[in-house]
Amino acid sequence: MKELLLRFHASEQQAGRSLREVLQKDYEISRKLLIRAKFSGEIQINGELAFVTRIVEAGDIITIWMDEEESENLEPEAMDLQIRYEDEDVLVLAKPPGIVVHPTGMHVTGTLANGVIHYWQQKGERRKFRPVSRLDKDTTGLIIIAKNQWAHDRFSRMQKNRSLKRRYQALVHGRVTPQSGVIDAPIGRKEESIIEREVRPDGQQAVTHYQVLKSTDDLSHIQLQLETGRTHQIRVHMSYLGYPLLGDDLYGGRRELIGRQALHAFELRFQHPRTGEEICLTEPLPEDMQKIVECSE
């Protein structure tokens, strides 16, 4: 069974160019995906099979059909998914704390991937699980899942050109000063640890913007935006400044107020990979973080 990956009418500006050029430059279809479409699908112009060398004419109806994907070897598990947005290309979920995004050696089942695969199977869809970004096990908030390879490729480009915007909120120990700033400090793996990261001169570039929303002598409620997406970036950077996240005992935080790192992905902003429409989604603070904010007022 085949599913429609892409359909559009060729414009005057696209006329006179090869189909390959239009697909790769205008729709950012990778060479790998184009080859897959050729051998595991159909590329059509006006309902007829077409070679990618064919010259496009204005008004041509171009469609790409793909064979349904084989589901990954993941155990489907029923899960109460908090769906915030879904269409043919994109699935956005609000992740609760304590859930791993993708199976690992230590977490083979009970992951977000297991729940999403079950959800798709219940809808009669066969797809691979393609998270656009990852959230740590105990970090809450919005996460994007691309529903096909083309959408995932386009999101990857957005990440590289930094047009995919993600904003977080966190609760940290101490009164953060100054009220706003940019942390530009490279992050690398800590020696003799497979989990912990640290700021180190030989690390990868990592840039975090922060702004204080509220603060007391004991804690601050802050908002953050990432330019880069290094593992544990916010947790490492705030600890490096001397303001570790509440509950983040891996990086110096204490757990008397909350039993996990107090970090929440509250906003996503991106251009839809197919329509170009700007999508902006927000997710309120989870109950455990909201209670701390209210008690500190």
- Residues recorded for the chain: 297
Q: Is the pLDDT of residue 79 over 90?
A: yes
Strand ranges inside the chain, DSSP E: 2-9, 41-45, 48-49, 61-67, 83-86, 90-95, 130-131, 140-146, 165-173, 180-184, 187-189, 197-199, 207-215, 219-226, 263-271, 278-282
Q: How confident is the model over 182-194, as pLDDT tens digits?
A: 999 999 999 989 8
The residue ranges of every structural domain in the chain are 2-67, 165-265+292-296
Q: Measure the CA–CA gap between 19 and 118, rounded to whole angstroms.
A: 37
Q: Which of 26, 80, 87, 136 is catalytic?
A: 136
For 142, phi then psi, to 5°, come to -80, 135
CA gap 293, 296 in Å, rounded: 5
Exposure of 169 in the CB half-sphere (CA atoms within 13 A): 17
Any idea of the CA torsion for 185, 165, 153, 15, to the nearest 10 degrees? -130
Cα 189 to Cα 198: distance, rounded to the nearest angstrom: 6
> Is there a contact between 92 and 104 (Cβ–Cβ < 8 Å)?
no
Please give the model's pTM, rounded to 2 decimal places. 0.87
- Answer whether residue 81 shows pLDDT above 90: yes
pLDDT at 70 over 70: no
Domains 2-67 and 165-265+292-296 in one fold: no
Sorting pLDDT into bands at 50, 70 and 90, what band is 122? very high
Structure tokens at 297: 């007022």
> Confidence class of residue 241 from pLDDT cuts 50, 70 and 90?
very high
Amino acid identity, position 272: H
Q: Has residue 85 got a pLDDT over 80?
A: yes
Is 136 catalytic? The answer is yes
Name the pLDDT band for 1 (thresholds 50, 70, 90): low
CATH architecture of 2-67: Roll (3.10)
CATH number of 165-265+292-296: 3.30.2350.10
Given a cut of 70, whether residue 201 has pLDDT beyond it is yes
**Closest C-alpha among 286, 267, 263 to residue 85:** 267
